[in-house]
Amino acid sequence: MAIAIAVFAVLPRTAPGAAVGHALGIAGFALMIATEVAYSLRKRARTGAWGPMQTWLRVHIFTGIVGPALVLLHTNWRFSGLAGATAIAVMVVVVSGFVGRYLYTALPRTTAGEEMSQAAIAALLGELDTQLSQPGLAPRVSRQLTAARDRLKLRVVRIPRHRRLLALWHTVHVPLGVGMFVLGFAHVAVALYYGAGLR
């Protein structure tokens, strides 16, 4: 994100078809493709040999922000025609991604990013209760443990609703992303075709 902000601040506005503008668009779109493909493949991998999901999600979110930011720079703030529709679709998918990120983290998860089972949640609550029942607990620590236990209980209560919302979000986000990539590839194809023989 810092890189994107630095790019915004330092670079002068450049035409999308100029060398810098093209580089921004290519880099941004490549980041978006790489993160989507790699993250999807990792999510569907049967083993955890490729690293924890939490790390992949962080990378997915990072590139999912920086990539669109570069694409936004590539537009030079002009949103007309197919290219403009593509840029707007990118922004819609990014906003949708922020919503998904909230719903995703609303569900209690393990450090590896997997959703916690009922038994694991019950064990965690029991451990919190055990710690709170220990004598001589400092008041500040006691308050923190109590707050954590209450937040977890609230999240547990909301698990069914968040699970439904996450499923619904997933149903919307993925087709939005697919549509965005269709527009993006169409934009690239048009740019290559009409840019051929420019001399």
When asked if residue 171 is in the footprint of another protein (CB under 8 A), the reply is yes
Nearer to another protein, 45 or 147 (CB): 45
Nearer to another protein, 78 or 153 (CB): 78
When asked if residue 40 is in the footprint of another protein (CB under 8 A), the reply is yes
Beta carbon of residue 124, minimum distance to another protein (angstroms, whole number): 25
Residue choice 7, 17, 92, 115 for contact with another protein (CB under 8 A):
17
The DSSP output letter for 116 is P
Nearer to another protein, 113 or 152 (CB): 113
Nearer to another protein, 1 or 37 (CB): 37
Q: How many residues make contact with another protein (CB under 8 A)? A: 29
Nearer to another protein, 123 or 182 (CB): 182
Beta carbon of residue 50, minimum distance to another protein (angstroms, whole number): 14
Amino acid found at 28: G
Q: Is 14 left (phi over 0), alpha (psi -120 to 50) or beta?
A: beta
Beta carbon of residue 47, minimum distance to another protein (angstroms, whole number): 12
Angstrom distances, CA of residue 174 to CA of 49, 92, 97, 177, 189: 25, 12, 10, 5, 22
Residue from 48, 161, 148, 54 nearest 101 by CA: 54
Residue choice 1, 122, 168, 182 for contact with another protein (CB under 8 A):
182
Burial of 138 (0-12, 13-18, 19+ CB in 10 A): exposed
Stretch that binds another protein, among 6-14, 61-69, 77-85, 114-122 (CB under 8 A): 77-85
DSSP assignment of 155-179: HHHHHHHHHHHHHHHHHHHHHHHHH
CA geometry: angle at 124 spanning 122 and 129, to 5°?
A: 95
**Residues that bind another protein in the complex, under the rule CB under 8 A:** 16-17, 40-41, 44, 46, 78, 80-83, 171, 174-179, 181-183, 186, 190, 193-194, 196-199
